[in-house]
């Protein structure tokens, strides 16, 4: 087990079930097993697309409250806002001087925007700011500041972790052995969590299930999950079902086996399966929903927790930047 792990979470929207299953729960598990952990809210990254300051602050509070309500151990993890460790921006600036432009040209986050622009007949760089273009460099600074061993990431972030290793390698080759090269950890058994329409659960698709919707709203959204036209008595493939894919993440092993058998043997219709999905999800989320709502009604508690985490993170970041400054001659 690695000694130190780190992850960042975007503050660009209300966290949904896909975030919970793909990032929040796996990271909480890492925190509970690691000797040292850093979990930060990537509000500087959020500035790439979030230009409403009130909304950015609101989402920051929501993200923090979700992690706290879901059981992140604040004694084991330094939980903080990225912007509360301003040395991050200094390191990112230094790293730009060893990072080839060609590497940034190959970043998926940039290439995807260019491809969409060209397909629409627009200029390739329409809407591209330098925050988006240099996103991998700032992410590299986030990682290298804390001498982390492992960074749990989703499959869509794997390239950025590879870039972080590349950039650290460029720096080390030029200035000596300054940075530790981290490795990624991808939870293969989760993959892409489907949304209400079967596509990847995403705010951009509008198919998400917010983690802490009210029970009534949760049930309403679950009942909207798209299904095929098979009858209750028809045999169904659970591995192709959005209902089952989400169900198994909240249910006990015994419940999961029972539901799988019902699908395979034509013993359940989609309506009843959705009702069972709501039951297991609400059982898990209801007590945490109360904690979340209590935190959101007391934002000072959230900010105090984040500041406490930043106080723990800063000395480690300062030690790293001191090595970097010495290496480059500053």
CATH number of the structural domain spanning residue 73: 3.40.50.620
Specify whether 256 is located in the same domain as 130: no
Specify whether 226 is located in the same domain as 314: no
Specify whether 40 is located in the same domain as 122: yes
What CA–CA distances, in Å, run from 102 to 53, 95, 107, 136, 188? 33, 14, 9, 12, 30
**pLDDT band, residue 198 (cuts 50/70/90):** confident
Q: Please give the pLDDT value at position 187.
A: 62
Query: Which residues, in sequence order, are CB contacts of 5 under 8 Å at separation 6+?
Result: 27, 30, 31, 34, 36, 37, 38, 148, 149, 150, 151, 152, 185
Bigger pLDDT: 289 vs 158? 289
Specify whether 162 is located in the same domain as 303: yes
Specify whether 320 is located in the same domain as 183: yes
User: What are the tens digits of pLDDT across the range 157-179?
Assistant: 788 889 999 999 999 999 999 99
**pLDDT band, residue 191 (cuts 50/70/90):** low
Q: Please give the pLDDT value at position 264.
A: 96
Q: Please give the pLDDT value at position 304.
A: 98
Q: In whole numbers, what is the pLDDT of the chain averaged over residues?
A: 92
Specify whether 116 is located in the same domain as 253: no
User: What is the total count of domains within the chain?
Assistant: 2
Is residue 206 one of the residues assigned to a domain?
no
**pLDDT band, residue 183 (cuts 50/70/90):** confident
Is residue 205 one of the residues assigned to a domain?
no
Q: Quote the domain boundaries for residue 254.
A: 215-293
Is residue 100 one of the residues assigned to a domain?
yes
Specify whether 269 is located in the same domain as 235: yes
Q: Please give the pLDDT value at position 160.
A: 81
Task: Please say whether the beta carbons of 306 and 81 come within 8 A.
Answer: yes
Specify the CATH number for the domain of residue 249: 1.10.240.10
What CA–CA distances, in Å, run from 303 to 65, 130, 211, 279, 280? 10, 29, 21, 33, 32
Cα-based torsion angle of the residue sequence 30, 32, 34, 35 in order, rounded to the nearest 10 degrees: 160
**pLDDT band, residue 189 (cuts 50/70/90):** low
Handedness of CA 196, 48, 86, 144 (dihedral sign): positive
Mean pLDDT of 72-77: 94
Is residue 209 one of the residues assigned to a domain?
no
Q: Global pTM?
A: 0.89
Is residue 197 one of the residues assigned to a domain?
no
Q: Please give the pLDDT value at position 27.
A: 86
Q: Of 37-46, 177-186, 206-215, 258-267, which range is least confident? A: 177-186
Specify whether 231 is located in the same domain as 141: no
Specify whether 138 is located in the same domain as 272: no
């Amino acid at each position: 087990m690695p000694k130190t792990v780190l992850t960042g979470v975007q503050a660009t929207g209300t966290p949904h079930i896909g975030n919970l299953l793909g990032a929040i729960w796996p990271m909480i598990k890492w925190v509970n097993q690691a000797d040292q952990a850093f979990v930060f809210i990537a509000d500087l990254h959020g500035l790439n697309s979030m230009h409403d300051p009130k909304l950015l602050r609101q989402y920051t509070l929501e993200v923090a409250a979700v992690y706290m309500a879901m059981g992140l151990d604040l004694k084991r993890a330094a939980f903080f806002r990225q912007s509360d460790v301003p040395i991050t921006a200094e390191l990112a600036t230094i790293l730009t001087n060893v990072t080839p432009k060609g590497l940034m040209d190959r970043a998926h986050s940039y290439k995807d925007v260019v491809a969409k622009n060209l397909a629409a007949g627009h200029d390739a760089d329409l809407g591209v700011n330098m925050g988006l273009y240099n996103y991998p460099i700032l992410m590299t600074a986030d990682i290298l500041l804390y001498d982390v061993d492992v960074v749990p990431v989703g499959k869509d972030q794997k390239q950025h972790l590879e870039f972080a290793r590349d950039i650290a390698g460029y720096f080390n080759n030029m200035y000596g052995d300054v940075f530790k090269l981290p490795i990624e950890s991808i939870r293969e058994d989760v993959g892409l969590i489907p949304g209400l329409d079967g596509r990847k659960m995403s705010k951009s698709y509008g198919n998400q299930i917010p983690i802490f919707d009210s029970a009534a709203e949760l049930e309403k959204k679950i009942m909207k999950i798209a299904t095929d036209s098979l009858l209750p008595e028809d045999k169904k493939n659970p591995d192709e079902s959005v209902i089952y894919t989400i169900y198994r993440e909240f249910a006990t092993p015994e419940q999961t086996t029972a539901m799988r058998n019902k699908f395979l043997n034509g013993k359940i219709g989609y309506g009843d399966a959705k009702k069972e999905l709501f039951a297991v999800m609400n059982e898990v989320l209801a007590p945490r929903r109360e904690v979340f709502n209590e935190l959101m009604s007391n934002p000072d508690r959230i900010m105090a927790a984040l500041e406490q985490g930043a106080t723990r993170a800063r000395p480690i970041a300062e030690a790293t930047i001191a090595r970097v400054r010495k290496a480059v001659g500053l």
